[in-house]
Amino acid sequence: MKISGSKALMEALLNEGVDTIFGYPGGSIIPVFDALYDYMDKFHYVLTRHEQGATHAAQGYARIKGKPGVCIVTSGPGATNTITGIADAMLDSTPLVVITGQVNDTMLGTDAFQETDLIGITLPISKWSYQIRDPKEIAFAVAKAFYIAGSGRPGPVVLDITKNAQSEHVDFTPAKCDFIRSYLPNRSIDQYAVTKAAELINSAKKPMALVGHGVTIGEAEQELMAFLDKADIPAAWTIMGESAMPTDYRLNKGMVGMHGNIAPNIKTNECDVLIAIGMRFADRVTGDLKRYAPNAKVIHFEIDPAEINKNVKCEVALLGNVKNTLPAVTSLIKQNNHKDWIDSFAQYQAKENDNVISKELNPKPDEPLKMGEVVRAISNATEGNAILVTDVGQNQMAALRYFQFKQKRSVVTSGGAGTMGFGIPAAIGAKIAAPVRTVCLFCGDGGFQMTMQELGTIIQEKTGVKIILLNNNYLGMVRQQQELFFSKRYSSTPMLNPDFCAVAKAYGIATSHVTQRDELSSAINDMLKDDNPYLLVVEIDENGLVLPMVPPGKGNDEIIV
């Protein structure tokens, strides 16, 4: 029996194990949504309030679930509204399948109503973009899309489906894709590189590891700690690598990069062997490349060959999934002891604690509430078991610095793109992916207002996310740089904000407003004991800074305390 292309799409998605779809309908995708109507018992469909929200929600879902997130939107502005999410997913290696409607194939190139060249737009920011003009292509195109999105270094793919391909009929047979000529997502282990890496590690006096998102993507958390334990190597994490190690793990030395901890930033420039594990040496991690790790021989565990020697030259490259390459090296390294080297981190940890952390977590009674103390209070109340979602800005850096973790896959943040407005929709996706876990979203007043329409999605889905709005009435991160580097010229950063609690109440979401320190504990308890969505607005220090900080373009040893 022949079926419509739209129904073929539904069957192809089922064949890929899809259970959740985020999206927003429109004219050029109506046939697909009409077919979806008959599949509501098979898919959890989430109607977001904006197409960008659909992509970020799908990202949050993918990051927690560990499989591609799916969103379906219409053509024209519906499709172009997904661009930010696609770019974000590409930079952060998040598997995403974005399906967009398109005008009839006979109208392509005529500037028809809501026609845009989405393939041309998305080619540079996706792993694969393809336009389906015939329903006969649907089965294999979908299979290929999911294979590309989820294999190797994950990322977003785009399927642009013309309206005629949605409506015309086809003899449908599900397809499977596990091989594409010239695309090699899985590589055999280079035994010579394994041996050379083990030799460098065994001879190192001051080895150090940097843990990135690749560990979480590869589900290699246990392999990582087996490697670190055996070689006795201190490790730090990028913001995308947080929660790959428990916070209290003995070799976890904190965050590296612009707002990272002093000790790992300084020690990066002192180590003699630097072991990068599933990370790409982004500029926010390295600072000035000319001054980065000058004493180190670099070993790079990486799945994407394009990242090898791109920013930092390495002595040894180990291509492949770290779940496979790490154990290969672990089997050849010696049981070691680097006590003196590890102990040398302590003086910098003490310096940061005295100059920054203690003041942030234990401010004087007459001082305004601090970002860090709010984050740590909620972290303690959730006993390190919550999923942390952040928006972007000071709220993000404070949350990443002061939230603590016991479980893996516990952080969802926008790293490479730094997308304000990411938080609310990403938290929705994360909560749908892990409904039994507490999801805490930290956002600022600026980012909250970029996607606050997704509060409508929250109430429609009854998604019990906990939103903590750290309100300083500024675009805080920009203000911080204006204060430190632009003579306190606060151009376009003060914010005249609405009554956020009134906004939440308009959506039927429970809320509370904290202005004083003695109100915080009870407000947190009220939020966490409520199974429903909740907005906690906390008025924080307008002049607060996230420190330490490596100034843009400077070396990591030029950190401001």
CB atoms within 10 A of CB 238: 26
In angstroms, the CA 393 to CA 160 distance is 33
- Residues with catalytic annotation? 51, 113-114, 163, 477
String of b and e for 95-132 (b: at least 16 CB within 10 Å)? bbbbbbbbbbeeeeeeeeebbbebbebbeebbbbbbbb
The one-letter amino acid at 182: S
Closest by CA to 315, choosing from 297, 333, 294, 328, is 297
Helix (H) or strand (E) holding 160: strand 156-162
CB atoms within 10 A of CB 202: 14
Contact 553, 379 (CB under 8 A): no
Contact 390, 443 (CB under 8 A): yes
The one-letter amino acid at 23: G
In angstroms, the CA 198 to CA 122 distance is 41
Please give the C-alpha separations between residue 103 and each of 71, 99, 120, 166, 486, in angstroms, as whole numbers.
18, 14, 15, 10, 49
In angstroms, the CA 423 to CA 432 distance is 14
Helix (H) or strand (E) holding 89: helix 83-91
Q: In which region does residue 405 sit, left (phi positive, over 0), alpha (psi from -120 to 50) or beta (all else)?
A: beta
DSSP 8-class letter at 334: P
Residue 70's DSSP bridge partners are 97
Helix axes 322-330, 221-231, angle to 10 degrees: 20
The one-letter amino acid at 316: V
Closest by CA to 113, choosing from 25, 9, 26, is 26
Q: Calculate the dihedral angle through the C-alpha atoms of 487, 488, 493, 497, rounding to the nearest 10 degrees.
A: 180
In angstroms, the CA 78 to CA 115 distance is 10
Helices (runs of H) and strands (runs of E) counted in the chain: 25, 20
In angstroms, the CA 545 to CA 50 distance is 32
Residue 422 backbone dihedrals phi, psi, to 5 degrees? -65, -35
In angstroms, the CA 39 to CA 232 distance is 53
Closest by CA to 256, choosing from 556, 15, 531, is 556
In angstroms, the CA 64 to CA 432 distance is 9
Q: Which residue has the tokens 């749908």?
A: 432
Q: Where are the alpha helices (DSSP H) in 151-282?
A: 163-167, 191-203, 213-217, 221-231, 262-268
CB atoms within 10 A of CB 186: 11
